[in-house]
Structures are given as C-alpha cells and as structure tokens.
Amino acid sequence: MDLVAQRERARQLAIEQARLLDGMRCHNVAVLDVSAVSPITDFYVIGTGSSARQMKSIMKDVEDLGDQRGSKCLARSGYEGETWMLCDLVDVVVHVFNQDARMFYDLDSLWGDAKRVEWREPAKA
C-alpha cells in the first residue's frame, strides 16, 4: 500500500473511531491530524467520557473496530484507572479522558498546530 493510501486509510479509521465515541455519548470529540507535528502517529482521536465504566466500554469497542479494520491495538494504557485511557492503533491513537483529566492534559492545545479533521457526517437536507 502506498503512503497516500495508507494515510487515507488511517484518516478514515480516525473518523470512524470519532463517530463511535460520539455514538457512545462521549463529549467534545475531536480528531487531530498530527502527522506534520508528530513522528509517532498520524491521528489523535480525543473524547471525554462520563464515567470509568463508560470509558472502559468505549475502549473495548475502539479495539473491536480497529480489529475489524485491520488495525490491531499495539498498546493500551489506563484501562485499570478512571481518568485517561489510551489505545494505540499505530496510525491512530484514541484517547478517552474524564472531564478533569481532559482539562488538565489539554491535548487539544498541546497539539494546537495540528489540523482538525471534520468527522461528523454532513447534515441531510
């Protein structure tokens, strides 16, 4: 697979993951294209959960969707906690925070040079 096709595949996975988070009632979901500012990954998907139980459920579904799209979870972190959970799908990293941790770590501002990706489906007329 060429680099352009790989980036588009990663972009589509990030969008699908954002829609998954939104569908599971995460708040303030964002997709950041960090490819120009990070040597680690291409996209961050960030969301705010309302409880540790909800966050764990979301992360299970994030991993399942990654598996379905051929992107296995390379690493996970925070699943035993209640503040920040992360799933590394190589080209896409999904972060789910509780409200306090989201504000404290403020990845949206930390990666402020990253382009925001529109992930919502266009409204139907």
pTM of the model: 0.94
Question: Is 75 among the domain residues?
Answer: yes
Q: 3-state SS string over the chain?
A: CCHHHHHHHHHHHHHHHHHHHHHCCCEEEEEEECCCCCCCCCEEEEEECCCHHHHHHHHHHHHHHHHHCCCCCCEEECCCCCCEEEEECCCEEEEEECHHHHHHHCHHHHCCCCEECCCCCCCCC
Question: Is 42 among the domain residues?
Answer: yes
pLDDT tens by residue, 48-94: 999 999 999 999 999 999 999 999 999 999 999 999 999 999 999 99
pLDDT tens by residue, 107-121: 999 999 999 999 998
Question: Is 124 among the domain residues?
Answer: no
The CATH number of the domain holding residue 59 is 3.30.460.10
Question: Is 76 among the domain residues?
Answer: yes
Question: Is 65 among the domain residues?
Answer: yes
Domain limits for position 100 = 3-116
Number of domains in the chain: 1
Q: Determine the pLDDT at residue 121.
A: 85
